[in-house]
Amino acid sequence: QVQLVESGGGSVQAGGSLRLSCARIGRTFNGDAMAWFRQAPGKDREFVAAIWSGSSTYYTGSMKGRFTISRDNAKNTVYLQMNSLKAEDTAVYYCAADVAGSVVSGTYKYWGQGTQVTVSS
């Protein structure tokens, strides 16, 4: 019923920038939480950022201050602007929508397919 389609991943040099997009198809997400997570090989899934009703946002971890989550409701799209990228940011990034519980650790109903981000030092 809802599909999340990610794009924007790729390979960049350390210090560079990427902008990930996650388009929500099937239903508007206004007021509903959207989030970005990432997972590197051999590591647990890590929360990156979330945005929800009232354009509230939340960040944590090493990406705080470097990454920015935003939303374009007209396009039903959520973005993750990633600046000052580091090698340790290398991971598969994916978006999630419609959480039950905490935006950080709650259960999301919908997930994107993931997009690879590779940062070379």
Question: What b/e string do you get for 35-68 counting C-beta neighbours within 10 Å, with b at 16 or more?
Answer: bbbbeeeeeeebbbbbbbeeeeebbeeebeeebb
pLDDT tens-digit profile of 65-114? 999 999 998 888 999 999 999 999 999 999 999 899 999 999 999 999 99
- 74 exposure class (CB count in 10 Å sphere: 0-12, 13-18, 19+): exposed
Is 96 within 8 Å of 107 (Cβ atoms)?
Answer: no
**High-pLDDT (> 90) share of the chain, %:** 77
